[in-house]
Amino acid sequence: MNVTYREALHLALHEAMAADRRVFLMGEDVGRYGGSYAVSKDFLAEFGSERIRDTPLSELGFVGAGIGAALNGMRPIVEIMTVNFSLLALDQIVNTAATLRHMSGGQCSVPLVIRMATGAGRQLAAQHSHSLECWYAHIPGIKVLAPATVADARGMLAPALADPDPVILFEHAQLYNMEGELSEDDASWRCDIVSAAVRREGSQLSLITYGGSLPKVMQAAEMLAAEGIDAEVIDLRVLRPLDTDTILASVRKTHRALVIDEGWRSGSLSAEISARIMENAFYDLDAPVVRVCSVEVPMPYAKHLEDAALPQTPGIIAAAKRLLGKS
């Protein structure tokens, strides 16, 4: 069946709620409004206000409540409207949820799932448009996921809920309307939350990306193929822990790496990936690792400036050609 990314998330949430009464959803506008991105539409009527909880505008407060519920045997899913607002809950996420297993000597676990929209491209300016996945991928004690396909949007929630530790799901806002095929055979979309995915096989260079940049990278790979350039596309999917083995296997095959990251270049996830390649596959490289990242400015509101600030398909193609000495 053909579904949108939003519908795939809705299906995953509905399945989780129906299967386990310990699972509940809380966040701003998740109930009566049906979610800021309509992912929880109609859930309030079906599951009731005890399990679909609209919260006050206090990320620090309701993320803390989610941690307390997880510690007491529940399986909370906390929705934060946008990644920028998650900074208001950093103390709860970084200093509490991520550390409790370690600080309790393994006696406590926090099986908490936090969902949040991330990314730019919708003219919502700097307060609603940044890609801060790297900040969370820096933190031990949590898993960080970035589903970039309809199948992963459908398949990542169940293993996230089964994990005994906190899991953050980053849903790129530009993907909600993206459509894709989703087989009724769950083997096609069930997935783990430890492995990267090879989205396109190739031999001449590796294009490494995640989240909202994947469609642009796939388009770039097809356009490069039309010019006789065979690019492999790696979708990281899991940002912590990084699947270094899949990255290195690709680089050792193609001997060139181009990392596309909607985050800012300085201190970015692309920098970490580049370092791991240089540390582990330096002698397999035929050229230095190249990166395409967002321009280091707060995200502009004006459409032409927003587009200019973000990685785009033409820039990815140009970088790939330079890496191959074809520019």
- Annotated active-site positions, please? 59, 128
Q: How far apart are CA 152 and CA 145, in angstroms?
A: 10
Q: How far is CA 36 from the centre of its chain?
A: 18
Copy the structure tokens of residue 190: 């069930």
C-beta of residue 258 within 8 angstroms of C-beta of residue 316? yes
State how far the Cα of 76 lies from the Cα of 166, in Å rounded to an integer: 10
CB 145 within 8 A of CB 193: yes
Residue-by-residue DSSP string for 90-115: HIIIIIIITTHHHHTTTS-----EEE
DSSP type of residue 22: T
Return the beta strands (E) in 159-230 as ranges.
Answer: 167-172, 179-181, 197-200, 205-209
Nearest to 137 by CA among 24, 268, 16, 21: 268
Taking the C-alpha atoms of residue 294 and residue 311, their distance in angstroms, rounded to an integer, is 6
The secondary structure of 314-326 as a DSSP string is HHHHHHHHHHTT-
At 273, the amino acid letter reads I
Which pair of structure tokens corresponds to residue 239? Answer: 């940002």
3-state secondary structure of 292: strand
The SS3 call for residue 257 is strand
